[in-house]
Chain A
Amino acid sequence: MKILVCVSKTPDTTAKIAFTDGDTKFAEAGVQFIVNPYDEWYALVKALELKEAGLATQVSLITVGLADADPIIRKALAIGGDDSIRVNLDSSDSFSIATQIASVAQQGTYDLVLTGKETIDYNGSSIGGMVAELLDAPYVSLATNLVVDGKMATVTREIEGGEEVAEAALPLVVSCQKGMAEQRIPNMKGIMGARTKPLVVKDPVAVEALTSIYRFELPAAKAGVKLVSADQVEELVRLLHEEAKVI
């Protein structure tokens, strides 16, 4: 079984969010970039677990981005994975990105495509579903567990107010979230080894974007907290009832 893991470059979770060029671009100056946590902690580590269990023969990583994404893919390779592909395209349109991933998945005849449940920058939760539709493959979203037995996969996914266990045949696309695996910290051997693992840069296939970002906006600042003294607890309840009208 060959597994393709989709990884995305995102700002660090603690990064200051600001915009430039008339609020049309994310301000990258001084921002540290990381592998999108859902891709790294859950999708990638799950793929590695399947390989360590002897169920997968190859784990490949893919990202869609320009050369500034190379350090991110090397960071992911330090955790694990055999090789990697970067499709040289800068896009914020999910369909354009999914089209590149589907093209690589098809050419490489991967049995399993894993993504994180969403990226922490665009929060679209769209890539996995789009790739599945492009490949005409089944898709299980927001998965918390995955067991592979031959050509069949048993996947547990979150639903509102509970969970659902389902079976599907490979090839399959799964988006992964908490529960799927545990975060791993790369060791020195992994970091050294990542430098020499293959990173193939591919030209994008032609695609027309379905959406474009018009501009960004920061939320209005909070008016400020209304503090109530610890010996006036009834006043807090009164405010929640009469002013905020929430209880």
Chain B
Amino acid sequence: MVLVFVDCADGVVKKQSYEVLCYGAALARQQGVAAQALVLGTVADAGTLGGLGNFGVTKVHHLEGNALQHFDAQVFAKTIADAVIGLGASVLVLSHTTTGKALAPRLSVRLGAGLVAGAVALPNTDAGFVVKKAVFSGKAFAHVSINTPIKIVSLNPNAFGISKTDNLAEVETTSPQVAAGRVVVKAVNRITGTVPLAEADLVVSGGRGLKGPENWHLVEDLAKEIGAATACSRAVADAHWRPHHEHVGQTGGAVAPNLYFAIGISGAIQHLAGVNRSKTIVVINKDPEAPFFKAADYGIVGDAFEVMPQVIAAVRKLKAGV
């Protein structure tokens, strides 16, 4: 059986979890076994659990308890490991996000199970169980063989896609005995009102070519029109034109959206390392020699201050016409 860990925040299923469910279901079909889901903690909407069947799992194991109300890697890892053993799962799938990065390594040790962290495709089972993953910050892939009876795969966000059916899953809710964690959360500060960068399908990003924070309306206006998150290059974050959490690149965050729209960013190799898994890259830069054009799908060689108002106007026109 393939068991999929469904990550929730405040009782709401995170977007990446739907993708992991689809991946787990496809993997189960490939192996000729069942796909089931594991949800920890209370969910906000009663229909959520059965609805996970829309994404290919036939059964949902829902575990409740005070210690499971807030994420604690040690507590969650122990609970998930017990479920893997108790249910006899042969493959555990989770997302390679902040939660997955905290959980998967602990589970690997606890279960003596080989882990491929950051998978980008279904395993190849011709020669064992070989999973393709991104390495060298997206500049290459490694095909990694898992050599243990239980296998753990964490999937890179936006690497597989989401497909939906009308199927519903059977739900079984239990309340196991779970000891409290040793990391006590004191405060959670969420940045509200914007699309979180890590979850964004579309990203509009600005670089030094925009000359100063006062010109960021060119980034923000387009982002608002198309429902995108905003990002920036390292130089911009270091100059405090934009907050550090917006910095994408080798030392900032890595993103893999459907669209990465780069304005006034030259595309140094360190920046590309954070964005090269984007499906479509658009580059606006006045320097025709900017390295970013080599990594782009579409580009305009031109002054952002002249091009961007026209882009925003054209998008508004397109939206008005559809």
Contact = CB atoms under 8 A, between A and B. Distances in A.
A124 B300 CA distance: 36
Interface of A: 11, 13-14, 17, 19, 37-38, 41, 94-95, 98, 120-130, 132-134, 138-142, 154, 157-169, 178-179, 209-219, 222-223, 225-230, 233-234, 236-241, 244, 246-247
B113 A210 contact: yes
Interface stretch (B83-91, B170-178, B183-191, B210-218): B183-191
Secondary structure dominating the interface of B: mixed
A-B CB proximity, top 9 nearest: A129-B105, A230-B302, A161-B196, A210-B114, A162-B190, A133-B109, A233-B310, A246-B259, A237-B314
Interface residues of B, number: 95
19 contacts: A120-B137, A126-B117, A129-B73, A133-B109, A141-B102, A142-B102, A159-B98, A160-B196, A164-B188, A166-B184, A167-B184, A216-B141, A217-B142, A226-B299, A227-B298, A230-B300, A238-B318, A240-B280, A246-B279
A179 B113 CA distance: 33
Contact of B146 (A17, A211, A240): A211
Given A225-B283, A225-B296, A230-B303, 18 more contacts: A19-B140, A37-B251, A123-B117, A123-B135, A125-B96, A130-B106, A138-B182, A141-B101, A160-B98, A168-B183, A213-B143, A213-B145, A214-B145, A216-B142, A216-B143, A218-B139, A236-B314, A241-B318
Nearest to B195: A161
B297 interface: yes
B148 interface: yes
Secondary structure dominating the interface of A: mixed
A245 B113 CA distance: 40
A164 B101 contact: no
A172 to B, nearest CB: 9
Given A139-B73, A230-B302, A132 B106 contact: yes
B98 A158 contact: yes
Interface in B100-117: 101-106, 108-110, 112-117
Contacts of A165: 185-189
Interface stretch (B23-31, B37-45, B126-134, B159-167): B126-134
